[in-house]
Structure 1
């Protein structure tokens, strides 16, 4: 079964240039990202491909996650469509994933990460992670969804949310 990992970027600070697109991670955001990389490695959720917003904070999140994944980390594909994407725009990018990819990591922004994950979560999802994910999506929060159809056909209520993990939080079953 393919897995979709939807990650909100780590905590970001202010931009030195003044633009939102160039905001960088804080030291806490760097640590959150390293923790997500460790969690992915520990959980055996090694992405076969990574799609990342081209915003600086998302790119830096990928760097710190990949540092923890080491040689097994795929090179992130930067996609400007993920920056401030509407939920259906993000889902369209996900639908382009080649069928050979078994695990896709998407690094993007609120509110699309939460809205797409809620849209995809089927009635067969684990209840506790859905409730936590719906209530709040902190920086570096990550959803793990599984499904049994082609990437191109993923469109709504057809993926099972199996975990929602937040670095440093006590997350049962995640």
Structure 2
């Protein structure tokens, strides 16, 4: 049996409130639209997670809400806010679903994405992992606690700009 990870960076956030704490920044209009098209893409491709591990920041929660998916289990985790790649791996190792969506932030998510795959996708935006970037990775194991660096096979990678142009 395999496990599938959907690794998503939050959609574009707003900078319109200068005094607002970074953790509390919401999505902007483009971010809300990006979350919507990413949700459509996930449904079209059949990438429907049964578990979501999401940073507890406002913009990651709003990204998840904009996807309009209905997973069995959702956890909002403070340890995914400003998480390093190693911290993200530790969180993923505790997952229980078969298809897990993990939503977090740069720079940790970019480092995690690069480190978790056997070979990176041939995409010009993969290494900088822009807002809304979404990677789908499959692991040949039936337990998340055995997932290790360089163990994932890329199934898909997309950035919202590509979906908004369709």
Q: TM-score normalised to the size of structure 2? A: 0.90
Q: CA deviation at 1:113?
A: 1.2
Count of residue pairs brought into register by the alignment: 160
Q: Which residue of 1 aligns with 2:109?
A: 113
Q: State how far apart, in whole Å, the 2-side matches of 1:152 and 1:6 are.
A: 17
CA RMSD in angstroms comes to 1.6
Give the secondary-structure state (helix, strand or coil) at the position aligned to 1:162: strand
- Aligned residues of 2:53 and 2:101 also touching (Cα < 8 A): yes
- 4+ long deviations beyond 6 Å: none
List aligned pairs for 1:17-56, cutoff 5 A: 17-56=19-58
Give the secondary-structure state (helix, strand or coil) at the position aligned to 2:101: strand
Q: Which residue of 2 aligns with 1:86?
A: 84
Give the secondary-structure state (helix, strand or coil) at the position aligned to 2:59: helix
Q: State how far apart, in whole Å, the 2-side matches of 1:85 and 1:119 are.
A: 14
| Pair 41,116 (structure 1): closer, same or farther in 2 beyond 3 Å | same
Higher helix share: 1
- Aligned residues of 1:10 and 1:29 also touching (Cα < 8 A): yes
Q: State how far apart, in whole Å, the 1-side matches of 2:31 and 2:74 are.
A: 18
Cα displacement string for residues 79-100 of structure 1 (whole angstroms, at most 9, x for unaligned residues): 00000001101110000012xx
Give the secondary-structure state (helix, strand or coil) at the position aligned to 1:133: coil
Q: State how far apart, in whole Å, the 2-side matches of 1:167 and 1:20 are.
A: 22
Q: Which runs of 5+ in 1 are unaligned?
A: none
Q: CA deviation at 1:30?
A: 0.4
Cα displacement string for residues 129-170 of structure 1 (whole angstroms, at most 9, x for unaligned residues): 4x5412x31211101110112200112011111211112317
Q: TM-score normalised to the size of structure 1? A: 0.86
Give the secondary-structure state (helix, strand or coil) at the position aligned to 1:14: coil
- Aligned residues of 2:84 and 2:109 also touching (Cα < 8 A): no
Give the secondary-structure state (helix, strand or coil) at the position aligned to 2:64: helix
Q: CA deviation at 1:15?
A: 6.5
Q: Which residue of 1 aligns with 2:122?
A: 128
Q: State how far apart, in whole Å, the 1-side matches of 2:89 and 2:10 are.
A: 17
Q: State how far apart, in whole Å, the 2-side matches of 1:162 and 1:113 are.
A: 17
Q: State how far apart, in whole Å, the 2-side matches of 1:119 and 1:15 are.
A: 34
